Amino acid sequence: MTDVGEEWQLVGRRKGKENQRRLKGLQHLLVFDPIFSRGEKTVLRKLGLNVLSENEEGKHLATKPTIFYLMHCGKALYNNILWNNWKIIMLTFGQLSTNRSFDREFQCDYSYMNQALDVCEEKQLPCPTRFSDVFGDTATITFPLGNLSKLPPSTWTEPQEQEYQHCPDLEIILKKIQM
């Protein structure tokens, strides 16, 4: 007779190795969350993932096909991703996997999200009923070239980085300035 704990450890090791094999197929996978603990970063690195060392505040440049996985993230993070990739080719590389849809409420403080409303395509992802309270509104948002081409050329000239001074509920962890 074996100990139940030993059986679970064996299952965990098998699953861990299985997951590592799956992840090795993904190249250049970058992960970041400003609240990752040291232990979480260590585990992610052992799984073969690249953990970004600094908080980019969502300003990562999509120079090749990129999926931004943004579950339960604040509006400023989405807006920063759009601002930093505000070129037709870079937006076509990007896909946002998110649990919130863009909304017209973003007109003032989140201008890149507001401009993206008319050119993005949102596809709702299926969700098991037991998780619908958390992931029921999960969707992918893409930016098809045909839609982006409809915007006037002035849309793409020298996009200004936004400052969120008028946003009382910013919902983003800003990077700390090193002194």
**From CA 96, how far away is CA 88, in angstroms rounded?**
15
**pLDDT per residue as tens, the chain (179 positions):** 444 444 444 445 555 566 555 555 556 778 888 888 999 899 888 888 889 989 999 999 988 888 888 888 888 888 999 999 999 988 998 888 887 666 645 666 678 888 888 888 988 888 888 888 877 788 888 999 999 998 888 888 888 887 777 677 777 777 765 44
Query: What's the pLDDT at 5?
Result: 44
From the list 5, 49, 44, the residue with the least C-alpha distance to 24 is 49
Q: What are phi and psi of 120, to 5 degrees?
A: -90, 160
Domain extents for the chain? 1-53, 56-179
- Cα angle vertex 167, ends 162, 173, to 5°? 75
Residue with tokens 């064996």: 10
The pTM (predicted TM-score) of the whole model is: 0.65
Task: Say which residue the tokens 């003032």 belong to.
Answer: 108
